[in-house]
Structure 1
């Protein structure tokens, strides 16, 4: 399936960006991007506050691109949906505190906005939002996916394992000495290996393969004196690797009867309890707290435990298959499960029987509500990404304009098995959904209105971008863990057609599993065929590649990039920021320079930081069109700082881990949601106040004589705050070109609203 020709309609990243610039009328103008990071519901709450701050400063209209990841995509999609579908592109869709409102709006519109905010705030526990759609509904959906998946996978796995239990002449007792050395009680009529022909053959074949491999290694030493061609050497190295993998797999499956007999005898002699006691003691020792190396030992213990669990599953399958063979009952029971498995694999949709569908429905209900809040009717379920673009009335395949800010939703294309070393090492590549194009650098890009039979909705893209729980990504790339997660259908990822492999006929089937269910599940369980060359590709949470959402903005060489980061970072490692710095340097030749010291707490007891934002520079790689281009990066983060209201400080005193609570917590009550939203609002307002101070320094005081007048540099002017105090030194990075971008961003509107912002912030 990976040898199909590429789709002629797929284009490169440069073509995509050029089309965006044309429709956004960006030629010669400054490009400003806003990135909303991952972090689940906490990111949605915090970045809602950031959006409100930018709207209060009347600068949201200056944003060119909106790039979102995971939880940032929740609130970003809510903004895009409400602005386009509910407000017809007019105004800011959420309410502002009354003190920040300069231009009055009709009471009806204010009430509508307040209802929207109440709705989202009330869905902080969006996975179980109401009495009916409660935690039991969530558990039932999880169990449903498990049952359907197991009904497809288990019968086939059981059938294959049962082949090892086919009857064999009982005189073969090849492994009797081995068992006697284990002091096991042997049954005189069966021998150590149960009566299974393929079990003996498989294990014997595996031992033979291992012996052959040793011989090959020795022979390789004899012929190493010859200088073989590079192609021959590479072929030999790859062949040795595959042969070793096949040998180990054969030995493992061939050992199932031996393991079954060992475990059965241990149960009979009560040795199993002693063995389990040893295992528990070993795991306890490995996971003990150590100042150095404790994390490695704990990871090793978990890895061993998961590996043993997978092996025991196969041993149990063999045990029951062997028991049924002895009673001649397996033929009576295997046919119906196999028929059900085949039927489900042909009929069921792999994307809809996993937790993806349940997750999508809950996210859509929470963040893409109908115009009449609470109404059961809502077309957000079918609202396509391509509806954010305006087409020519006569030529529907020609774009006229696109909604601004241009929304990019980031996901991760799984490239675990890619032949490209960089993509294979990373395990993923950034894959975008946007109004004009969908795709990645690895798969090329396809027009959104022609991609996957035009079925991709904003809700689906938002859900894929937040599909954090999924096999073969990040920490779940460990084989046994990925196997168990896929087996139990604990997965939020999405299978879709490859943009560079798509054809119009195949696209009609891309939303359905037919006929590749078992292929999909096999790839996820066995970590095989997960790359950019397959007809169908696997997508998951964009944060598994880059969690800030700024990657695509830097690809587009934005003059100003604003990042709202709400990922959990209790140890102040700034790992997501470091990941962005590394990836854009490698991929785009862009160097980010930023100092994180101001965000370290001044007092560990109070956790108060000097500022909630950082200012850095982005030195872009030179091109023919642009030389020595330097952009600005404004990085807003969840941290405590002076000027926070009592409601936030009270919540922090009651919950000491705030604002670094785990992103695993996806059940926010109203106080928790409001604490993060207000934190984001205050952080954004603080940034705007300092920006205004940078652009509008106080007039120099009059002095009796020039001798008394101190020398003032451009840097010191930038540091002078509007309240007479020193503004933050980060703004000294602003050069002449950057200052012009910031002036365009702030415009005259920010100055007219500054007094209201200061009153609210200091009130």
Structure 2
């Protein structure tokens, strides 16, 4: 083997001989050893890289809000624009001054506590004169160490104009809680159906991937019984993002994870029964093409187990007839047995409404059903209704409303 080396203006040839290929093997070993030293990091280099990653993660955790760095804000703004901005008075004072990016004015999203304040100037579109608003959310308890919550994996958490909280965490005045939480934020939390931790729907493998891809609509909010309850979210979000990633949310930390109220009670009647409401009207809009009444059955079990109150209701008239797309009625009336807990308490009435067909609907509704077998129980994943689809659902609501008010009024 000969190597050629340049020296000045000339060059010289150096002959190097190896016996029986051993030199070639030796040179390959030297090259491999040198390459390994270049490509194999030392313990010090690994420690430096790990420290740098932790430092970057810590900085991002402080600089980036774990709530705002999600799809929640996008979802909230759409709800505010669609519903809250639409009902704002045109002559509101001060005049709307929309943000050039979001096209929303701060007045489009009032504070939740304002709905309970009768002293606010009417010119601002308030006071609110409707029923007392209870916004249901689910407090996620997905930590696998909590054996008693392995099926439910959630508890009810209420956002209301006067107080926010639950029996597990305690309550705080709404105006003092979570930076005086706005109505739009509360509505978006209550509708956060698709997120990493989803109450009894939680799957830890799915939670991991949803967190990785930032498919997160839920909200980290201050624990009402701990320091920091005045803040909407944690200053350092990275630890809570890891909790979300591995599905280990609980009520023991300074911040708790809230999601769609349907992750505990999809009908919203649990809290009404806990408050001993005498008359409850429940509209079941869940996807239930086989008339399984899963949501109603689940809340009946929880109310009986937690509150000692039973619900007696016959669903035969609402159930789809065998081999037929029709029911007999759109509603059923049940009895809420408060007297099982306190004999002096009067029983309550539950008016249960179910989206169904009885065969006497308008011709256009029946025509839509003929071409869409899943109607009126099409999946809620369909977020893009056509004109005919929207009108079919709207028109179906009219006979349902007439029937319910006619028969329910007789039962009162």
Asked if 1:428 is matched to 2:154, the reply is: yes
Within the alignment, does 1:368 sit opposite 2:81 as a pair? no
- Is the Cα–Cα contact under 8 Å of residues 476 and 482 in structure 1 kept in the other structure? no
Task: Indicate the RMSD between aligned Cα atoms, in angstroms.
Answer: 3.1
Equivalent pair of 1:402/1:435 in contact (CA under 8 Å): no
- 1:661 and 1:368 map into 2 onto residues whose CA distance is 26
Residue 617 to residue 498, structure 1, CA distance change in 2 (3 Å): same
Partners of 1:481 and 1:691 in 2: how far apart? Answer: 43
Q: Which runs of 5+ in 1 are unaligned?
A: 1-187, 190-194, 196-321, 394-400, 695-733, 735-741, 743-763
Which residue is equivalent to 2:242?
Answer: 522
The structure-2 alpha-carbon separation of the partners of 1:342 and 1:501, relative to structure 1 and needing over 3 Å to count, comes to closer
1:646 deviation in Å?
1.9
Q: TM-score, normalised by structure 1?
A: 0.44
Label 1:634 to 1:608 Cα distance change in 2 as closer, same or farther (>3 A). Answer: same
SS at match of 1:634: strand
- The TM-score, its normalising length taken from structure 2, stands at 0.79
What does residue 583 of structure 1 align with? Answer: 302
**Which residue of 2 is the match for residue 446 of structure 1?**
172
What is residue 384 of structure 1 aligned with on the other side? 111
1:511 maps onto 2:236 in alignment: no
User: Helix, strand or coil: the match of 1:495?
Assistant: strand
Are the counterparts in 1 of residues 76 and 188 from structure 2 also a CA contact under 8 Å? yes
1:485 is displaced (CA, Å) by 1.6
The verdict on how the C-alpha distance between 1:333 and 1:628 changes in structure 2, with shifts beyond 3 A counting, is closer
May I ask how many residue pairs the two structures share in their alignment?
361
Call closer, same or farther: CA 1:325–1:358 in 2, change over 3 Å: farther
Instruction: Choose which of 385, 392, 396 in structure 2 pairs with 1:679.
Output: 396
Q: Report the CA distance between 1:362 and its aligned residue.
A: 1.2
Bigger fraction of residues in helix: 1
> Partner residue of 1:481?
206
1:217-256 aligned within 5 A:
none
Distance 2:146 2:51 in 1: 43
C-alpha displacement at 1:590, in angstroms? 1.0
What are the residue-to-residue correspondences of 1:536-615 with 2, within 5 Å? Answer: 536-602=255-321, 604-605=323-324, 607-615=325-333
Query: Do residues 460 (structure 1) and 185 (structure 2) align?
Result: yes
Q: Secondary structure at the match of 1:640?
A: coil
Counterpart selection for 2:372 from 655, 680, 687: 655
Instruction: Report the more deviating stretch, 550-559 or 483-492.
Output: 483-492
Structure 2: distance between partners of 1:464 and 1:343: 27
Give the one of 602, 620, 628 matched to 2:338. Answer: 620
- Once the two structures are TM-superposed, the CA of residue 476 in structure 1 deviates from its matched residue by 5.2
C-alpha separation between the residues in 1 aligned to 2:48 and 2:344?
75
| Secondary structure at 1:445 match in 2 | strand
Q: Which string of whole-angstrom CA distances, capped at 9 and with x for unpartnered residues, describes residues 597-653 of structure 1?
A: 112233634x111011011111114566x6252111111111111331122112212
Q: Is the 8 A contact 1:348 1:513 kept in 2?
A: no
Higher normalized strand content (fraction of residues): 2
Distance in 1 (CA, whole Å) between partners of 2:282 and 2:53 is 52
Q: For 1:354-382, what per-residue CA distance to the aligned partner results, in whole angstroms no more than 9, with x for missing partners?
A: 11111111111112224478985544544
For 1:561 and 1:634, the matched residues in 2 are separated by 6
Q: CA contact under 8 A between 1:613 and 1:635: conserved in structure 2?
A: yes
Distance 1:349 1:381 in 2: 23
Deviation at 1:490, TM superposition (A): 1.4
- For 2:162 and 2:225, the matched residues in 1 are separated by 16
Q: 1:422 to 1:629 in 2, by over 3 A?
A: farther
- How do 1:303-452 and structure 2 match up within 5 A? 325-326=39-40, 339-370=55-86, 371=88, 376=103, 378-390=105-117, 403-417=129-143, 421-452=147-178
- Decide which moves more: 369-378 or 471-480: 369-378
Deviation at 1:501, TM superposition (A): 1.1
Going from structure 1 to structure 2, the CA distance change for 1:512 and 1:324 (only over 3 Å counts) comes to farther
Secondary structure of the residue aligned to 2:317 is helix
Distance 1:360 1:648, change over 3 A: same
Q: Is the 1:380–1:459 Cα contact (8 Å) retained in structure 2?
A: no
Q: After the TM superposition, which parts of structure 1 deviate over 3 Å for at least 4 consecutive aligned residues?
A: 322-325, 327-340, 370-382, 401-404, 418-425, 621-624
Once residues 37 and 46 of structure 2 are traced to their aligned partners in structure 1, the CA distance between those partners, rounded to angstroms, is: 9
**Inter-CA distance 668–330: structure 2 relative to 1 (3 Å threshold):** farther
Map Cα deviations across residues 433-476 of structure 1 (whole Å, 9 max, x no partner). 1111100111111111111232x111111100111112232565
Q: Structure 1 residues 333 and 686 mapped into 2: Cα distance closer, same or farther (>3 Å)?
A: same
The residue matched to 2:178 in structure 1 has which SS? helix
Asked whether the 8 Å contact 1:414–1:540 carries over to 2, the reply is yes
Give the Cα separation in 1 of the matches to 2:201 and 2:285: 22
Q: 1:292-307 residue pairs with structure 2 within 5 A?
A: none
2-structure distance, mates of 1:564, 1:488:
34
Q: Is the 8 A contact 2:234 2:255 kept in 1?
A: no
Change (3 A) 1:512 1:560: closer
Give the match's secondary structure for 2:304: helix
